[in-house]
Amino acid sequence: MNIADKPEIRTTDIDLGELLNFLAATRDMPLIFHYQGNAVRPGYHVTEVKAGSFSALDCGANPESWSEIFVQLWDIDEGERTHMPAAKFSAIIRKVSEHVRLADTARLTFEVSDGIEPMRLFCAAGPLVSDGAVHIDLLPRAASCKPRDRWLAEKNAEVTCCGPSANPCCGQG
């Protein structure tokens, strides 16, 4: 099953709060991550959860700051294990919260490896319930140019708001 082919999935990053809120309502369901066209194996482990606060300058010399959570998944088979329930995954994240303040708006990054191939970085699309399980598609995390991204967002907002339809939201009528 390739979750990325389903139109209900958002292809934008979800943040920590969105994920935990969704999982709270689906706590007894198995949690299955998908990456590179495959589901993680039933024996997968959450081997590490890291939280960080970052300050940087983007390529336009603009200051940037954000918090980010890194969840490391080890994609292995292990005995007769099944995919972990959503509640167990949430409990692991909450355990980290006891030691490190995790902002609900923190950006989520997943580090995934099968123990042989190098770790790869992914962002998470919105969860989907299908076939009695929670499915989360992990999408490759691409590099971006933040000044260009902001410029494109502003241009898209202008077209949406003040395009040929002369939407009254811009004071035109």
> How do the domains of the chain map onto residue ranges?
3-142, 144-173
The pLDDT, as a whole number, for residue 153 is: 86
The pLDDT, as a whole number, for residue 167 is: 44
Question: For residues 19 and 77, what is the distance between their CA atoms, to the nearest angstrom?
Answer: 25
Amino acid at 86: A
Low-confidence residues of the chain: pLDDT under 70: 1-12, 160-173
The pLDDT, as a whole number, for residue 98 is: 79
Crossing angle (nearest 10°) for helices 16-24 and 86-99: 130
The pLDDT, as a whole number, for residue 160 is: 64
The pLDDT, as a whole number, for residue 162 is: 59
The pLDDT, as a whole number, for residue 144 is: 84
Measured in degrees and rounded to the nearest 5, phi and psi for residue 66 equal: -165, 160
Half-sphere exposure of 82 (CA within 13 A, CB side): 8
The pLDDT, as a whole number, for residue 32 is: 97
Longest dimension (CA), the chain: 66
User: What long-range pairs does 59-63 form, CB within 8 A, spacing at least 24?
Assistant: 59/145, 59/146, 59/147, 60/146, 60/147, 62/146, 62/147
Task: Identify the bridge partners of residue 45 per DSSP, sorted by sequence position.
Answer: 74
Q: Under 8 Å CB-to-CB from 97, ≥6 apart: which residues?
A: none
The pLDDT, as a whole number, for residue 150 is: 86
